[in-house]
Amino acid sequence: MIQRRLIHLTTTDMSLDWLLRPQLEAFADAGFEVIGMSAPGPHVDALQASGIQHVSVPSLTRSMSPWQDLRALRDLHREFRRLRPDVVHTHNPKPGVLGRLAGRSAGVPVVVNTVHGLYALPEDRLAKKSVVYGLERLASTCSHAELLQNPEDLPVLRRLGVPHAKLSVLGNGIDLRRFDPASVAPDTRTRLRTEMGATESTVVVGFVGRLVWEKGYAEVFEAGRSLVGADCRFVVVGPDEPDKGGAVDAKSKAEAEANGVVFLGPRDDMVDLYAAFDVYGLASHREGYPRSAMEASAMGLPVVASNIRGCRQVVADGESGRLFAAGDAADLTQKLAPLVQDVELRRRLGDAARARALELFDDRRVIETTLRTYEWLLSRSARPEMVAA
């Protein structure tokens, strides 16, 4: 039997490793020859150690540069022609557009895109929506299936004219066998809380995300000024991004540290870190379907998140956590305060969050749905009645 070749395309190798690797390994187990494609980076070795090939595309950067993007489109077309995959599956805004265009122009039999969250929201400025929605509409003409993580994006894509037959809600999931409180060694919580400068009686509120303002750090730092003290500590996990537009500047970070916020930088021990937290916070202004909130829920943490697309799907307000008005530091503080003060409330909402994760956030369902999509499209790829672009 000839092994079918599957390419997953993202901007960074970190996304392939940290976000997609369990899926890539499952697709390999299902019989595909799996290739991860992205800009080169430090996660390539980990991917290859797990049996996933990697093809680097240095021109595929996160920066906004029309000429660089044209080079990336050319390079992707060449790689697809060279590798002759049966399926190309794209992720993230830029690879989603460039990969779909290059896949169709290179004659790839099946092109699939995952919509992790449209980069523009209905309430955004018209100029931004025009560009983002226009590119999405164009790129969707080059795909055979659009898998939406968030159901709130479905009516938007329908209004853009994307054929109904291409659209399906995939949802999102995590490895629930990995994100399990029972998997954490007994002394881990104490060890990590000591690293954070917290005692067992300290209420640790954790935040995970790149240090860019759109992750809501202005509100986090303001809430920290009100709540951080002897009995509460805010801990932020995530990399600095000084070259990224909207990065949290060094002065703001230093001021937050002076107010008691602890920055741990990028970490690869998230399961253990969640076990050391008491509450999880997510103050983002834009999300698709946030993995960190699902992971924290699976680890039995109550989640306080901004009331936006994605967070609304993860957090049941008042049951597994609380939702606050995005961009409103006072409301974030108000929703966190009772959880900081009441251990029984934390336990009740945390237990409900864990139960909700077990019911809704299993990545095996996502994998099964994706595999069915591949098989259906591959079975139809040579037929004239296949869904037209």
Sheet with 203-208: list strands edge to edge.
Answer: 262-265, 232-237, 203-208, 279-282, 303-306, 321-324
Run of H or E residues at 354:
helix 343-360
Instruction: Over range 125-137, report the average pLDDT.
Output: 93
Per-residue pLDDT at 114: 98
Distance CA 262, CA 251 (A): 15
Per-residue pLDDT at 135: 95
Strand stretches in 209-328, DSSP E: 232-237, 262-265, 279-282, 303-306, 321-324
Domain ranges for the chain = 5-173+363-380, 181-360
What are the tens digits of pLDDT across the range 248-298? 999 999 999 999 999 999 999 999 999 999 999 999 999 999 999 999 999
The tokens for 348 are 């009740």
Q: Which of 126, 165, 97, 168 is nearest to 388 (CA)?
A: 165
Sheet with 167-169: list strands edge to edge.
Answer: 53-56, 33-38, 5-9, 87-90, 110-115, 145-148, 167-169
Looking at the structure, give the CATH architecture of the domain made up of residues 5-173+363-380. 3-Layer(aba) Sandwich (3.40)
- Annotation: CATH topology of 181-360: Rossmann fold (3.40.50)
Instruction: Over range 95-123, report the average pLDDT.
Output: 94
On the question of pLDDT at 386 being above 70, the answer is no
pTM for the whole structure: 0.91
Apex CA 139: angle with CA 133 and CA 144, to 5°? Answer: 125
Instruction: Over range 209-228, report the average pLDDT.
Output: 97
Q: Report CA 198 to chain centroid distance, whole Å.
A: 29
Quote the mean pLDDT of the chain: 94
On the question of pLDDT at 343 being above 60, the answer is yes
On the question of pLDDT at 136 being above 60, the answer is yes
Where residue 119 falls among pLDDT bands split at 50, 70, 90? Answer: confident
| Amino acid making up residue 198 | A
On the question of pLDDT at 53 being above 50, the answer is yes
Longest CA–CA span in the chain (Å) reads: 68
Instruction: Over range 309-324, report the average pLDDT.
Output: 98
Q: Which of 247, 187, 184 is nearest to 218 (CA)?
A: 247
Where residue 384 falls among pLDDT bands split at 50, 70, 90? Answer: very low
Where residue 143 falls among pLDDT bands split at 50, 70, 90? Answer: very high
Higher pLDDT, 385 or 117: 117
Instruction: Over range 193-219, report the average pLDDT.
Output: 97
Per-residue pLDDT at 242: 87
Per-residue pLDDT at 297: 98
Q: Report CA 127 to chain centroid distance, whole Å.
A: 25
Per-residue pLDDT at 288: 92
Per-residue pLDDT at 388: 40
Strand partners, 232: 203, 229
Per-residue pLDDT at 381: 81
On the question of pLDDT at 230 being above 80, the answer is no
Domain 5-173+363-380 and domain 181-360 have a common topology: yes
Q: Which of 52, 60, 109, 58 is nearest to 80 (CA)?
A: 109
Per-residue pLDDT at 318: 98
